[in-house]
Amino acid sequence: MTKEILKITGMHCASCARIVEKNLSKEQGIKSAEVNFATEKAEIKYDSSIINPDKIRKIVIDSGYNVVDNFSEEKNDTKRQKEKAMKIELIVSSILTFPVFIRMFWMWMIPGEFLGVSMTNWVQHNLSFLVVFIFGWQFHSTAFKQLIKKQASMDTLVSLGTLAAHLYSVWAMFNNQHVYFESSATITSLILLGKFMELKSKNRASRAMEKLLELSAKKAIVLLDGKEIETDVDVIELNNIVVIKPGEKIALDGEIIFGETSIDESMLTGESLPVNKKIGDKIYSGTININGIIHLRVTKKSGETMLSQIIKTVEEAQNFKAPIQKLADKISGIFVPIVIIISLITFVGWMIATKNFEISMINAVAVLIIACPCALGIATPIAIMVGTSVGSNNGILIKSGENFEKAKKVDAVAFDKTGTLTEGKPTVTEIFSNNESWEIENKKSITDPLLQKIIKIGGSLAKNSNHPISKAIFNVSQEKNIELATMENFTEILGKGVSASCQTHKTKLFLGNLVLLKENNLVDENTEKMIKKYQDKPGTISFVVHGGIVLGGFIIKDRIKKSAKEAIQKIKSLNLEPILISGDNRITTKAVAKELGIEKYFSEVLPQDKQKEIKKIQAMGKKIIFVGDGINDAPSLIQADLGIAMGSGTDIAKESGDIIIIKNDPLKVYEAIKLSQKTFAIIKQNLFWAFFYNVLAIPLAVAGMVNPMIGALAMAFSDVTVIGNSLRIYKK
């Protein structure tokens, strides 16, 4: 199955999008088609063996709209040019309309006649004709194409309304009746005003996306045979060396192999403070090198970088139709034919009641104009566009518009402990023997010879292991400048520890947990005393054994992140229950939960069992968010009603999470939930006002209480109101 995204121009409302969607969906070979009026994009999944892209484009064009090629390369300048062109159209149309409109209040006259018709009416006719048939041609052209296919949209309503007013006025001026040229011209200009304001608002809403696109560097300096050569980013290969100077954008994802610098990563994380980088550190496309010359070994080609994945994720989210939007689109699809019927009934009703063709026609036109369902069609996509843009600017990637709706309905937030609420980098907090102990926080020198020996043995054994606990012990030995011994016969025992022999003394050494001690019959009376003394302390205990004697050990603890406690409190303020799920022992998990203010926690949960705990919570009738690292926790992220993956920006496209937090900060979880809830609240407000507007406006027009010009003005500003309400998401 092939997927293609098309940029479609010429759509004026959700009914237009619905028409294109319907025509595409009924074509053989097309599995699904979703057309988003706000983003002007269509996502089409089709069988390439049955239908080709040219045929798909033809279907769109035959529906009355245009397809833009290479839309991904559309720059801000192009959008500004479109906005400028529309502004010029609006200004000229308004200038031509003004003399006709002002005659409602000042009855200016031009002497003379032509063909028995006053020159005053001829001037009104000519000005109105230019406005209705030149500047309003876009509406008539689309309406005519749709009429041939027995379809209708907002263009149908506008075209019928303005043509009815204008053609009636042409008949009236030859029959000495009152003309309504001001209505046809003013309605066209007001609708053009609404479209212009809508375009400006949509451009503002998509500005964050445009900024993301602007972040991509087009060229970079590649180091080849000792020479610096400027080349296009698209042709740079993996493992090429790129030279990045101060002030330059990072062109591609990679690893620093030379130099040190500070990097502005605000485009990724939303944080303004620069991050210090050195050899071996990863840096990402679109970030900015501040103050040092560095050499970068490319690890991701153009199109595969984190920035490319962010852009792809945001675009897909903005194109996605939330369930609530699909309902609105269905209503819009049947709305236009119903309005046309109501307009005809209005005309007939007023003719029966008043026997006045003029009044009947004007009221029928008012119904057509005021009922355009534009606001209904953009209520959801505009809010999603703004919400996803705000999120991406703050290091929060919302992968689907549906997730805004999911976040509104949750009751609890379950956190994986390690790497989510804690640093994920265990550190030694205490070193102990049977008689002595030393805590890292005391910052005193270690003078006890036995403790020094424990560090030496522990560091020597840990040096050869990549386990996080081993790394923590090795780091302590390095910080204390302990000279390490050379080991032989090194063995790593999965889930228990390591063993080896000292090369000098041939002594058997162990570094590991209580299970390892018991398996090797190393637990004596002194060891039991140490276990009893330290077993209630939060953290993991790793014992050191020399010559069959347990000398002491290390307590290793994963530090809680600085923002974790604040994040939990803020999540509670949303009336959501925080839950902690951890593979650590009960004592450690309980201590972390207590420090963070979490009442419900699960300890000693194996990675494969976390999903089961989520299921149990859901079985109690609760909707739950699960927050994990996005790799080990993939089953739980999928099982949860909403999955939030932390710190997984390097592989965004393959993530299991519905929402991805690029910066590994628990506060971003709160911000993501808050943003989702706010966006969904805005969507509901937009839909309410769009429905309320039509429910209120149509009866007023039927009753003759709204003239066509007021209807056109109200219709135009209903769109702007919905867009303006959506832009409130930008406000914190």
Give me the active site residues, please: 416
Count of CB atoms situated within 10 Å of the CB of 260: 14
Pick the closest to residue 417 from 670, 632, 668, 673 (CA basis).
632
Alpha carbon distances (Å) from 525 to 202, 383, 510, 544, 633: 75, 68, 18, 16, 41
Pick the closest to residue 31 from 44, 42, 22 (CA basis).
44
Residue-wise DSSP of 182-193: HHHHHHHHHHHH
Amino acid at 237: E
Q: Quick check: 510 and 520 in contact, CB under 8 A?
A: yes
Instruction: Put the strands of the sheet holding 30-36 in their side by side order.
Output: 30-36, 41-46, 2-9, 66-68
The pair of structure tokens assigned to 324 is 């609530």
H helix count then E strand count, the chain: 24, 29
Burial class (CB in 10 A: 0-12, 13-18, 19+), 447: exposed
The pair of structure tokens assigned to 304 is 């595969």
Alpha carbon distances (Å) from 669 to 396, 559, 563, 618, 625: 9, 19, 11, 20, 10
CA dist 312 and 209 (Å) reads 10
Amino acid at 128: S
CA dist 593 and 584 (Å) reads 12
Burial class (CB in 10 A: 0-12, 13-18, 19+), 60: buried
CA dist 657 and 269 (Å) reads 17
Question: Which residues, in sequence order, are CB contacts of 14 under 8 Å at separation 6+?
Answer: 37, 328, 329, 332, 333, 373, 374, 376, 377, 378
SS3 for 421? helix
Q: List beta partners, residue 642.
A: 625
Question: Which residues, in sequence order, are CB contacts of 731 under 8 Å at separation 6+?
Answer: none
**In which residue are the tokens 């100077």 written?**
245
Alpha carbon distances (Å) from 729 to 382, 385, 475, 644, 679: 11, 10, 46, 21, 7
Count of CB atoms situated within 10 Å of the CB of 689: 17
Q: Quick check: 18 and 329 in contact, CB under 8 A?
A: yes
